[in-house]
Amino acid sequence: MSENGQELISSSSEPNRPDRAEALRQAVVEGLRYTHSRLNANTSKTLEASSFLYALIELLEEKGLLSVAELDQRKRIVGERLVAQYRQSGNGLIVQDPECDKYNFSETVEFDCAERVHLCRAACCRLPFALSRQDVREGVVHWELGQPYLIEQRQDGYCNHLDRCTWGCTIYHQRPVPCLAFDCRQDRRIWLDYENRVINPEINRVDWPACLETKAVHHDP
Ligand code: SF4
């Protein structure tokens, strides 16, 4: 297409960058406004419910119908039960625990990735894991908006940050601790026999993106 043709298309069908940035900003502002109003409404309801509950406990104690020690003991048991239910529901935030500083992480696993990735097809970059607070604050690693704070994966099942054509990690120097620490050698989901290069045949049953089938391999950038 001619240079002029490109100019025509870009000026007629694409909004310019400042417009797009402003539209994006407005969308974020609307989203934040909604989140803040929900938060405010939920806080009011929580305060109201807490007032009723504390008033009820005080009355029951005054009338000698319960003791605070008994109540504390029961509260701990019920609290543990509710936390377990909440975790099972998948609604809570998921973060790395315990958390390590990735820039001072001393247990990075190094092995001959580049020699083997044509067999394993970067299967490790399809495993889901939780980010750390450090990753989230830093804002480089993308997380699943619908499931905070799991690493973002695309529809093909791979991490968003994997270069589909070179097998390289596009955020290599900021990659999270699970990427630094993961050792696939004993992981039977990937290798049936690492030393003898026997891959688990299950990983070949996946529909791989076309460019991953043919390109040369290197897992580092
Ligand atoms: S951050 Fe990089 S190394 Fe970690 S899973 Fe994603 S592509 Fe792979």
How far from the centroid of its chain's Cα atoms is residue 79's Cα? 26
Residue nearest to atom 7 of ligand 1 (CA): 162
Digitized pLDDT (tens) for each residue of the chain, 221 residues in all: 333 333 333 444 455 777 888 888 888 888 888 888 888 999 999 999 999 999 999 999 999 999 989 999 999 999 989 888 877 776 677 888 888 999 999 988 888 888 898 889 899 999 889 999 999 999 999 999 888 889 999 988 899 999 988 889 999 999 999 999 999 998 888 999 999 999 998 876 655 444 443 333 333 33
Q: What is the pTM of this model?
A: 0.63
Residue nearest to atom 2 of ligand 1 (CA): 169
Burial class (CB in 10 A: 0-12, 13-18, 19+), 203: middle
53 CA distance to ligand 1 middle (Å):
47
91 CA distance to ligand 1 middle (Å):
24
Q: What is the number of the ligand 1 atom nearest to the C-alpha of 219?
A: 3
